[in-house]
Each structure stands twice: as C-alpha cells, then as structure tokens.
Amino acid sequence: MLKSVLVLAAVLAGSARLSPASSIYDYKLMSIDMEPVPLSQLKGKVVMLVNVASRCGYTPQYAGLEALYRKYKDQGFVIVGIPANNFGQQEPGTNSEIKVFCKRKYDVTFPMMAKVSVAGNDIAPLYEYLTDKTANPSTGGEIKWNFTKFLISRDGKILARFEPDVTPEDPALVGAVEGALK
C-alpha cells in the first residue's frame, strides 16, 4: 500500500522514479517539435547539454556550438540545446519561434528540445539532477545564466560543467570533448 502511494505521488510530481537517478539516461525531454525524447537514446555518445536563449549576450555561442557539433558528430558527439526563459526573460518565444530563429540565424542542426525551466520552483527534473550537489558534488549547483554547458560521458555521467563565459571554442572545453571521445 505504501509503495502504491509513493508511486502515485511520484507520478503526480512528474517523475515515476522511486530511486535517485544515476545518469542522464533516467530522464526524457520533449523535442522542440513536441515529440518525446528519452535521453537513453543517447547511450554511447558524448553529450553536451546547454541551456540556451535567443536574446542573451551569449546567444552568438550558437555559432560555436554548431561548429563544435559538426566537427565531432561523426565521432559520436552530440549537443542538445535546451531553451529556458529563467534569466532576464531572454527566451520569451514559443518552441516554433525558437526553432525558426536557430535555423535562420545560426543554421543549427544539433537537436533542440522544447523550452523548460532550469532553475526555481518549476525546475525540470533533468536540471534538478544536473544541479544536485549531493548527486554531483563537483558539477552541481544552481544554473546562474544561459549557456551553461554540461559535458556527459558515453555512459551518461557528468564529466564537466562549463559556465556561460566559457565559449565553445575555449581550449579547455574542446580538450574535454576530445578527451571524452577517446
């Protein structure tokens, strides 16, 4: 009976998990076209999760992210753009508007997800996991702004976190990607 109540409570809270997550593969998002995307489909790839925004001073990083994606995608690297409107109302558009902006302005070809919250009371479960300092002591902590980047290993574990001022061309970020791909 207690387990049934806990399962129901978890479902109502938006997560059917009774045990803590162990990797990003325990989560799913919606694509920018509103199709379910279980992150488990990324198993075996090196992943960079980036909370993005269209009206941010860091928005030009889309160009660098796209270049990084194109350079390494054939080696098993994928960037996942996750729009969020948590900081300065810098992502006010709809998913359709965001998709058009990214394609027209930056020719983005890496996967884009539907807009979520990456901070606050309505934080998406994936970002709750990514920022959890208990589960991820070296990379956890609140997202402070748009274009925070999480590098994920082929087995779904967080390898590194890069704050917004670290550009996709930064040698430390590129080196981390190359190291993860080896």
Residue numbers annotated as active site: 56
Q: 171: which residues sit within 8 A by CB, 6+ positions away? A: none
Residues with Cβ within 8 Å of residue 134, at least 6 apart in sequence? 140
Q: Give the orientation angle of helix 171-181 with respect to helix 61-72, to 10 degrees.
A: 30
Q: What is 160-174 written as a DSSP string? A: EEE-TTS-TT-HHHH
* CA distances for 44 relative to 16, 38, 95, 154, angstroms: 24, 14, 28, 4
Q: At what angle do helices 61-72 and 95-106 cross, to 10 degrees?
A: 80
Q: Report which residue type is found at 144.
A: K
Residue 29: both structure tokens together: 């998002």
Angle at 90 between CA 71 and CA 42, to 5 degrees: 35
Element (H, E) at 178: helix 171-181
